[in-house]
Structure 1
């Protein structure tokens, strides 16, 4: 009897491989690892610190003050390289944050209102308590205006820290911390827009609102070309920038406006795929020939079976994680340790607000929300885990540096950056130690 013929599924179900795949596939796997962005961010932070304290420190510092822009006749649109990174490039970061929040609220773990309220309450406490502690230290002092610096949590570093614990912690803690970080990043950028903007220009505010309305109209009419939306977003950014409101709020609003509904349903997609088979013809040589129109329809269907939120999140996440955030850290984390004063009132206020205020605020507001029956906790998420997560929430690195550049004068900024860096290290260490040795070990012991 003949041996049965073995058909390799992967030879038919996958696209043909090319030499470039030997390079692309490892990169694709690398991008899929959530913690990779945190590793790259840490690397560029270290490089910035080394350069800021090396013989090249003056060159490194002056690099970010280079003027870049357009100068045509009387039209002048210029700003420093540092400002372009903080004001324009970071808009993509906030756009991605808003996309993640909307996906979680509409399609993800936060569709259940009382479960979502746990993260929202924790985020509110994690913003409010540190800000109040900071104001208690800096009330009527020169650094009083910097209260917004201590409000945010760095998503990449927090998720990176949780990844170090591997499968020892439940998925619910990761979801809780991701949701918390996204919500308080949104809160922080609203604070930036309101608290750290300049005098308002109502004409440009009106133009920006008209731009947002045009984006909504384009979506309503069924415009599918993402490039057109990015052009509209760029014009809105210019209007918001000229209005006196911090332009990064553009990313937040556009992200929350992005539709979560598929244009092509799952059933329609399967029907279209079936039509590819039905429309396959054979030429005399025996080769298959597909109708070009069917192929175009199939290509569009494969793209549009994902909602715009999901498509944009998949497309932007690598760019934000491996380009935007490292570039921001490279431009902002360069702290000179020459004459550093760890006992400066500003440094201490920032450190205490993050290291103590964050866990207290996260834990207290989560507990109150549950006791008031506004929120519920997942079965496998203990209060010890919430406390440990609150400690990790004291890692405010990216947003803290972002707000610090807006809130402080040049003679204050180095002391504040020193406090942010110190708080980041202390919060990461204390949170990891608590989760590893008090939460994980006690959980494992209770199982015997």
Structure 2
């Protein structure tokens, strides 16, 4: 899910940037007057004598952006239940960093505007634009490892939640009680349908639109409803039963292709995946490639004539927004990252160094979508809005430049881990340094002519993909045995070592391979709670002898390093390093070659 999110967000950055430039060119062209007149065009619905209308800008800001925040709600729900936010150790640092990245920019802004006419705009520099930040990281490329993207994405999710809370509390001017009661009743109706497990899309669409109208009339910004409904959408991991039914349906269609079998297979496959994930797949491209760019087109059109620029250069609003994004975000996120690490409140998702974290803190000062959104809520005067928007554009540009400089300096000083193709070449040993012995974990006959030694990591996704391949290989080749040795990449996969400890605890009960299979079958669920559940299911004492459990792991790591293991999975066939593709066909071919050479 994270990889798909990265791909969509970074890919949509160019569209968002294009829409922003188009809005600026339009507003500053000889036809600049048509920019405002177009977006102020009224459009509405009428039912007899009743009517409901908004201008185009408000249809975008209050309507389309509700869908944008609905997608954010879906992402929050997924990450909280199945993804990155499940592990409190991993959300502690980015959560505090996000809080610092909102408090310090607001303080910087208020230092220049407290008591003045622009004081209400303190919320403008608090939010980070995820699409632009991930787009900037894509430009940085190899200087930014994926764990930093995960860290910043988690930070952005927390940032979005806090921004929504701030909008709800501080930027709601007045409330219409009757409309608010109606909205509450409609929300209760939607929650009742969810509780009754009634999944009829028309019912949700009608109630959702009515809820949006009632919320808009109540004075509460309707985008809050978007994020609330997104959080309410069901998300779950596919159960074994649903996966089995899906597999059976596909098998039926494969054996007897027909329209009815195809329909049943499609229906069963859809049910195996949660509604949340299906909606994200459907709506996320629309949100990233259409809604946000249209929002930028409707709101980023600032006139840069001489008078506007002269006013902005001395305007405390412009300076406050720009300084909040450039300095406030950098200082707030840096301090918010250092504090929880200092006091042990959490861990980072990988082997990150301060050069990377400071670069990430700097580019997080790129504030655009939510910043422009709050400008529209905070200020009514178009000239004041223009000053704030100039601050957003200048502060975001300077933040991007500062981040690029920091990443380059960190790279030049060796502070960033380069990808494998950027590392200097190393002559690695071809032979296994430590032969298979009685303390190894062996699956297969002791006299097998072919022995595969795997150095693996229980959290490594590539090891997870290899696991069923090796199982299939052993099933088809009774004269092959598999030896598993631990090589947890502790700095990249923080859950790998605790999982290895549990596997060794199971080994003391003679159940290593059962636990081995359980851990690989549940790679996405390796928190302490999950590990304790697996231990209970297999009747294993998980942490009874940690020194004794860690000793074989350390021994495997030492033998791996001596054998030239630098990543996982690494295989040795009859003591010789395997350098082919990690697929069944390639490994089978190598096994046949090893069998013939014995």
Query: Is this a same-fold pair by TM over 0.5?
Result: yes
SS of the residue corresponding to residue 175 of structure 1 reads helix
Q: CA deviation at 1:127?
A: 0.7
Mapped pair 1:300 → 2:300: no
Change in 2 beyond 3 A, CA 1:57/1:366: same
Counterpart pick for 1:268 among 238, 242, 246: 242
How many pairs were matched up?
412
Contact 2:8–2:285 at 8 Å: present in 1 too? no
1:381: which partner in 2? 352
Q: CA deviation at 1:70?
A: 2.0
1:55: which partner in 2? 30
Query: What is the CA–CA distance in structure 2 between the aligned matches of 1:444 and 1:191, rounded to whole Å?
Result: 35
Counterpart pick for 2:393 among 421, 435, 439: 421
2:318: which partner in 1? 347
Change in 2 beyond 3 A, CA 1:270/1:404: same
Mapped pair 1:149 → 2:121: no
Unpaired segments ≥5 residues, structure 2: 425-598
Higher helix proportion: 1
1:321: which partner in 2? 288
Contact 2:144–2:416 at 8 Å: present in 1 too? no
Unpaired segments ≥5 residues, structure 1: 1-28, 282-287
1:362: which partner in 2? 333
Q: CA deviation at 1:445?
A: 8.8
1:76: which partner in 2? 51
User: For residues 23-56 of structure 1, what are the alpha-carbon distances to aligned partners after superposition, in whole Å with 9 as ceiling and x for unaligned?
Assistant: xxxxxx9995541211100001001101111111
1:254: which partner in 2? 229
RMSD: 2.3
SS of the residue corresponding to residue 392 of structure 2 reads helix
Query: What is the CA–CA distance in structure 1 between the aligned matches of 2:56 and 2:266, rounded to whole Å?
Result: 39
1:183: which partner in 2? 158
Counterpart pick for 2:63 among 88, 96, 99: 88
Q: CA deviation at 1:376?
A: 1.7
2:464: which partner in 1? none
Q: CA deviation at 1:370?
A: 2.1
Counterpart pick for 1:433 among 388, 399, 405: 405
Counterpart pick for 1:337 among 304, 315, 328: 304
1:23: which partner in 2? none
Structure 1 ranges of 4+ moved more than 4 A:
29-33, 278-281, 444-448
Using CA pairs below 8 Å that are at least 6 residues apart, which structure has the higher relative contact order? 1
Query: What is the CA–CA distance in structure 1 between the aligned matches of 2:253 and 2:27, rounded to whole Å?
Result: 64
Contact 1:105–1:116 at 8 Å: present in 2 too? no
Mapped pair 1:398 → 2:369: yes
SS of the residue corresponding to residue 173 of structure 2 reads coil
User: For residues 224-257 of structure 1, what are the alpha-carbon distances to aligned partners after superposition, in whole Å with 9 as ceiling and x for unaligned?
Assistant: 3334323322111111111111111001111111
Query: What is the CA–CA distance in structure 2 between the aligned matches of 1:417 and 1:51, rounded to whole Å?
Result: 15
Contact 2:66–2:224 at 8 Å: present in 1 too? yes
Change in 2 beyond 3 A, CA 1:145/1:444: closer
Query: What is the CA–CA distance in structure 2 between the aligned matches of 1:148 and 1:378, rounded to whole Å?
Result: 29
Contact 2:246–2:269 at 8 Å: present in 1 too? no
Q: CA deviation at 1:143?
A: 0.2
Alignment of 1:3-152 (within 5 A): 32-152=7-127
Contact 2:355–2:415 at 8 Å: present in 1 too? no
Contact 1:194–1:245 at 8 Å: present in 2 too? no
Contact 1:30–1:36 at 8 Å: present in 2 too? no
2:443: which partner in 1? none
Alignment of 1:437-448 (within 5 A): 437-439=409-411, 441-443=413-415
Q: CA deviation at 1:64?
A: 0.6
1:14: which partner in 2? none
Mapped pair 1:206 → 2:178: no
Contact 1:82–1:331 at 8 Å: present in 2 too? yes
SS of the residue corresponding to residue 273 of structure 1 reads helix
Contact 1:276–1:290 at 8 Å: present in 2 too? no
1:7: which partner in 2? none
What TM-score comes out, normalization by structure 2 length? 0.65
Contact 2:110–2:122 at 8 Å: present in 1 too? yes
